[in-house]
Amino acid sequence: MKKLSVIGCLLALVLNMQGCVVAVGAAGAMAAKVANDRRTVGTQLDDQNADRAVAFQWSKSDELKDQANLQVDIYNGVALLTGQAPTQGLIDDAVKRAQEVSYLKKIHNQIRIAEPIGAGTQANDIWLASKVRTKILADERVPALQVKVVVQDSEVFLMGRLTNQEATAAVDIARNITGVARVVRAFEIIQ
């Protein structure tokens, strides 16, 4: 019984250490991403806060909550609105509410008039986004940490601060992945 107790304690210790290693590894990866981002740390935080602010504005509308599937992604003060809503009126309401967030410099409205996509399509979008990220990561022409990939209903939206050459390469990579229906550029082009 004493041996089992000691083995149990050792096992718990090893599992806790593995958890710490995973946490430290994840923190290190996040620190590397933050340090290599072309945005300042302050801008990265402002983008996250604006993302939450838009979501909060949308949450004030029962119609948007009940009838639409909306997603906001913000990169360097530029908002990308994606998803589906059954009417133009709901899309207009979503855009109007996003415009209430004063931090935003520009809004790309890519919300489609359609019924919200189902779980199977969402799962496919997650898989497709993973394929796009992996291909971009493997290509030396594109600084992978500078590209944000958003997928909605097999449409790929690319954001980030890239040179025109980097942006063109990223779009080319995404366009040539099986299952991608369309690629939309929402880049900020830098020199």
Q: What are 167-175's contacts with CB under 8 Å, separation 24+?
A: 169/139, 169/141, 169/142, 170/136, 170/142, 173/132, 173/135, 173/136, 173/139, 173/142, 174/132, 174/135, 174/136, 174/149
pTM of the full structure: 0.81
| Domain closes at, from 61, 92, 113 | 113
Please indicate, yes or no, whether residues 54 and 103 belong to a single structural domain of this protein: yes
Q: What CATH number does residue 161 fall under?
A: 3.30.1340.30
* Full residue range of the structural domain in which residue 66 is found: 41-113
pLDDT for position 24? 47
Other CB atoms within 10 Å distance of the CB of residue 148: 18
- Taking every pair of Cα atoms in the chain, the longest distance, rounded to a whole number of angstroms, is 69
Alpha carbons within 13 A on the beta-carbon side of 20: 6
Please indicate, yes or no, whether residues 45 and 109 belong to a single structural domain of this protein: yes
Please indicate, yes or no, whether residues 84 and 53 belong to a single structural domain of this protein: yes
Please indicate, yes or no, whether residues 68 and 93 belong to a single structural domain of this protein: yes
pLDDT for 45-91, tens place per residue? 999 999 999 999 999 999 999 999 999 999 999 999 999 999 999 99
**Residue 173: which pLDDT band, with cuts at 50, 70 and 90?**
very high
Please indicate, yes or no, whether residues 124 and 106 belong to a single structural domain of this protein: no
Other CB atoms within 10 Å distance of the CB of residue 79: 25
pLDDT for 110-130, tens place per residue? 999 999 999 999 999 999 999
